Amino acid sequence: MTTARTELEGQVAAKGLALGTARVVYSTKIDVETEPLPASGVPNEVKRFEGALKTARTELAQLSGKVSGALARDLSEIIDAHALILDDPEFTDAVVALIRKDQLRATAALKRQRDLLAEAFDAIDDPYLRARRDDLDHVVSRVYAALARGGAEPERKPSAEGQILICDTVPPAELTQLAETGLRGLICTASSPYSHTAILARGLRLPFACGVKHALAVVHEGDTILLDADQGRIVVRPDNIDLSRFRTQQKEAEKLRKQRARVKVTDARTRDGVAIKLYVNAENADVIAAARRAGADGVGLFRTEFLFMKRRELPSEDEQFRAYRDGIVAMAGRPVTLRTLDLGADKAIGGPLDIGAEENPALGLRGIRYSLARREIFATQLRAMLRASAYGPMRILLPMVSSVEEVREARELIERCTDEVRRSRHPVADAIPLGAMIEVPAAALVSADISRHADFLAIGSNDLAQYVLAADRNNAAVSANYDPLHPAFLRLLYLVLDNARQAKRPISVCGEIAGDPRYTPLLIALGLTEFSMHPSALADVRDSIAVLSRKTLKNKAARLLHAPDRASLAEVVDAMAAG
């Protein structure tokens, strides 16, 4: 066994620092029963599978009663998502059909259906929704375990006091139990910053690095692990210099935490007094309320598609209205931007929104294209939004716009829906700004024209970068090609910002770069004054803004835009960050 110091890198999923001993959990090998199932055994095998489903449902129900406070709410939402999968006929009925039709044993049928659904999830373009594959795998693992136990009680998890867990992925509910027994950090070879596990880790304030590819090959049980989840950096068997540096980082982090706790949250301003608006990306009222308390200026992106995912029926107008209203009320007078359905064949897996398979969903019927093709669904959503507008400042944002015509068509439908809502005696705000998301190159190139028909713009930098660079940032084979510090992406970004400025239209960036302090100087240099990010990024971005001079940065914009390659661009950005 090696005792040499080793460094590993991964993605930041939940920030924080941790030092502990490794608890290594290798992937559980699922024993798939391959022997033929006689016809006479089919009824009992179906009964066995249904019994495992019942056991899995019972275990989920029991989990929700084991935690309290804000964490209970977070875990409840995750348990509900897992329960939906357990109740989804595309999952359960399909497994039963495979047992009956192909005479497969339960584990073989479960694996086959899991593989089919996993393939569909892998085709999803949106990284947040793609991460729902983790939920599928966690649910399938729970059912497998129930099948293997045959009704026996699950093993009790040992204490994790002082440990850092090293594994492929861990179900959120199990993570909660481990955290309660003293787990200090989490390192996964798979998973995603958008997974439910990552969301829960942030709620638990548990440092988490994911995508650490070789962790299971390098780390041994009991190894000392230094986890710097602020940087996605792991040191296995750290030396004295590492440990000294770690203690210094801990002291600085604690000092910063105490300073922030004492200081009243104020508006974000640059060193030379320029006001910067910091909005959040959210999908429910609880997240919005917490963001408001953290000083958010509003919601730059409310993801409405989560009301529609993995359901047997469409949410009614009243159900949507209540969700939008609660989000608007939670922001207490600050603007809330409701994004219309960003759904398509890549996200509507089964259920009433299913439109069939597409060879390339990222270039298919999604976003505003989908909404305009399914106008009855779109109109219901718009009426719910219009009714919610009476409860506070609200804007409507159209995703994946690629032409002026789409904005025109949507506005015409909004006007018709407004008349319908008012005739129904529901109050509607006098003015509701309509915006367009700029996340495909076509929209960026005609953003000057779109600005004449939209009241505001929002740049979806994640998708825009992927389309411009032809690189999926979740595909490890091309991860080096996905780089926001690419001259082509930066110049296109500036084109959109400048077109919005000339048209006197508000514009924000709501992708990952908005919440990453490394890019804050660059975005301010290009003229951005509105950022929208995950709520956990607010404090770091606000602190970054406070030490920057917009005037100084703007003087360096020309150097940014004329940089011929990524290396030159990185040098300019580093110089800007250094002041």
504: left (phi over 0), alpha (psi -120 to 50) or beta: left
Q: What torsion, rounded to 10 degrees, do the Cα atoms 288, 294, 299, 301 define? A: -80
Phi-psi map region of 516: left, alpha, beta (phi>0 left; psi -120 to 50 alpha) = beta
**Cα separations in angstroms, 459 against 96, 137, 218, 276, 522:** 45, 32, 40, 16, 15
Q: Which of 196, 210, 417, 534 is catalytic?
A: 196
Q: Is 225 within 8 Å of 187 (Cβ atoms)?
A: yes
The residue behind tokens 């489903």 is 53
| Cα–Cα nearest to 126, from 473, 555, 432 | 473
CA 182 to chain centre: 27
Cα–Cα distance, 373 to 269 (Å, whole number): 43
| Pair 408, 453: CB distance under 8 Å | yes
Q: How far apart are CA 486 and CA 484, in angstroms?
A: 5
Q: Measuring CA to CA, which residue among 357, 396, 400, 403 is closest to residue 379?
A: 396
Lookup result for tokens 């093709």: 373
Annotate 412-438 with DSSP letters as a single string.
Answer: HHHHHHHHHHHHTT----S---EEEEE
3-state secondary structure of 20: strand
- Cβ distance 539 to 261 under 8 Å? no
C-alpha distance from residue 532 to each of 125, 128, 300, 470, 542 (Å): 20, 16, 5, 24, 12
The answer to whether 433 and 387 are in contact (CB under 8 A) is: no
Q: Which of 281, 152, 280, 166 is nearest to 224 (CA)?
A: 166
Amino acid type, 441: P
| Token duo for residue 570 | 């990185």
* Structural contact between residues 327 and 333, judged by C-beta atoms closer than 8 angstroms: no
Has 138 been annotated as catalytic? no
Which one of 82, 188, 510, 534 is the catalytic residue? 510
Residue 477 neighbours by CB under 8 Å, 6+ apart: none
Give me the sign of the Cα torsion angle 78, 542, 569, 579: negative
Residue 510 catalytic? yes
Residue 575, Ramachandran bin (φ over 0: left; ψ between -120 and 50: alpha; else beta): alpha
CA 233 to chain centre: 21
> What residues act catalytically?
196, 510
